[in-house]
Chain A
């Protein structure tokens, strides 16, 4: 704790992730903190902390007073490992029910104890010991609600039209991906990564491949590196289009959503031709690509770039300049730079608050080092900044693709890897910039063909935390719009 405090004072104000660990009966339980400085997010350090109190009563001091985001990370670790963080004000279970027996990510967890599905559903369990005591009008937004992007459940305390408090409730589609990873081989895990943030599936999968390649100390051939980068950027455009469209729909403009879907369809067609998949492209593999690009790929991407530019102008005409849209977004939901850093809000939402955090520029991976690219930064931190930065990023993604598409190197598209991939012993951490922010992959390997522990850093979970912060004192309509402007994807939270 003192060490972490010193690091915080030394400028490490960005807590990337807290990875809960069960090192086995000898070493016990604990966590790994990944930290960075907000002005240099490329440079990370990790701090390992072993919990005191053995397996029966493990506890660690909470760091939620140092970093706001730690609050929810610690809840997650508490949920899965049973570590108590003394000083954390709200240590309810995050994903699992309050009456769940045991801690699933511990190595000695017995899954037969819990019978799924539970039948004695009681709302008292998630009420959080009177979290809403005294609030008269508590409305459930979700898990089934037209404007919740996925099955997120927000409990909202209202005072007339004004939102007083928001309590997100996760876990409705939690699939236990991290636990599944512990019994899957590395090539099998790849298929799960596509299904986390399904809108940036290709990027997440790319990240996992990079993590494995880093561990194996191999590199994908140059052709694969460039094609992966193009795929990432196309995925990002598709995701931003959908994010833009659904935000517009949250504000009542259905036509904008259909326009976005129409343009996104072009990208899906390109994906389908080369990779077979449309949404889950399943394209990167450890050491390269699953197959070579389709002969039409370059031509169709080249055709797509001017088309998308033309359509971007149309999108601006339809929505950006609209006085109602401007009036709705103006001055609502300000997220200050300090708050964004403390909450760990990366990606477009963080950059809209003025935080230089785009890994593509500050820590270039894949082919981003070869291209001219400058990340988009806005300083307002308001809803409009978060809105417009997505459209600006589509343009910069087009610019990246433009530089790469004519320069795809010849050669093989994948390195030969062994049939059974075994990562060497150790901890590996890799981050990639997906459409919502920094997606992190932590792998602990003991040298087996399956990992010992895998943890994904979800940028979306952080965004919901930001919503909790900025939504109060706004109107109900703004709550929905702010959700759209943050553009979280629930399967990435409910791993």
Chain B
């Protein structure tokens, strides 16, 4: 009975953290985007508009779920759950600080890659079941895009697995206590980091890779027909996926919750240890999120053929060679 209660509490905690983080991310995005565009961003609800996304959440909860004529209703309703469940499952595996991790498999990184691809199914279903031509095109694009970019994101994470010799996320973070992998892994780790940022960004369906949504072409792509909280699920999952990609990047490359240590400088290392792990983790993650926002609000959108040739002709070969290079580095 006791362990049962523990599971329930854990589940609730993850869901609350998920929702709160999504609200924070939406606010941060709107504010940051506002500054990029010489605007102020939300500033009415609460001081500096901090409650804007809370207000938006309340609004979206109260909205009507529009009934789509001739849509496949079972799949249509199911699709948004696929997307959000995939995202929550990935979220649960993130090591926030020492011991603060819900799922810690010995194949942790493999698990992250596996459940995060569940979202593709949801997106394809959403496009297929909506009975809308725009949604259909969006879903097809998204299928092609996500499956392609999964490869190079997987390969660049494998590079780190080769370096660390383990797939367990807690172990990977632990190994970085002396020096983060991006510094320890020489050139291949830096290349892998860049490749992961690009392909991870593409997996989150955000500009310049937002072809599945492409509001100027497909109105909203696969979620054109969704409304209310069903749309909210897609929206939430999109923001949290951005966070998850950033969190995985910081866990694998930037030492996760480990403070910045420089071998030999004991005084400096001791000072860094005073900052708690969760601050380090969130700090690094939000730094990566900021990079994503910067890209998002600067670049125009790619075309679908350019997007795919970027993956298959540029990123994937680089990642493969890089993996080999890392193996050579490790053997030496």
Contacts and interface: CB of A to CB of B under 8 A. Distances in A.
B304 A475 contact: yes
A262 to B, nearest CB: 6
A139 B134 contact: yes
A252 B38 contact: no
A475 B307 CA distance: 13
Contact of A146 (B39, B215, B303, B304): B215
A262 B216 contact: no
A324 B208 CA distance: 9
B298 A255 contact: yes
A147 interface: yes
Nearest to A141: B217
Contacts of B302: 324, 327-328
Interface in A241-273: 248-256, 258-259, 262
A248 B208 CA distance: 12
Given A147-B217, A324-B299, A475 B210 contact: no
A63 B303 CA distance: 39
B64 interface: no
A60 B227 CA distance: 53
B303 A477 contact: yes
B298 A250 contact: no
Interface string B293-311: 0000111111111100000
A218 interface: no
A146 B298 contact: no
Nearest to B211: A477
Nearest to A484: B216
B39 A258 contact: yes
A258 B217 contact: no
Tell me if B's interface is mostly helix, strand, loop or mixed: loop
Name the residue among B37, B39, B215, B300 with the largest chain A CB count within 10 angstroms. Answer: B300
Interface residues of B, number: 28
A318 interface: yes
B78 to A, nearest CB: 25
B137 interface: yes
A319 interface: yes
Contacts of A475: 303-305
Contact of A147 (B39, B216, B303, B305): B216
B194 to A, nearest CB: 16
Contacts of B215: 146-147
Interface in A208-228: none
A324 B300 contact: yes
A362 interface: no
B219 interface: yes
Contact of A252 (B133, B134, B210, B304): B210
A267 B306 CA distance: 38
Contact of A251 (B137, B301, B305): B301
Contact of B214 (A252, A253, A254, A262): A252
Interface of B: 36-39, 133-134, 137, 141, 207-208, 210-211, 214-219, 297-306
11 contacts: A253-B298, A255-B297, A258-B39, A259-B37, A318-B298, A324-B208, A327-B306, A475-B303, A477-B217, A480-B216, A480-B217
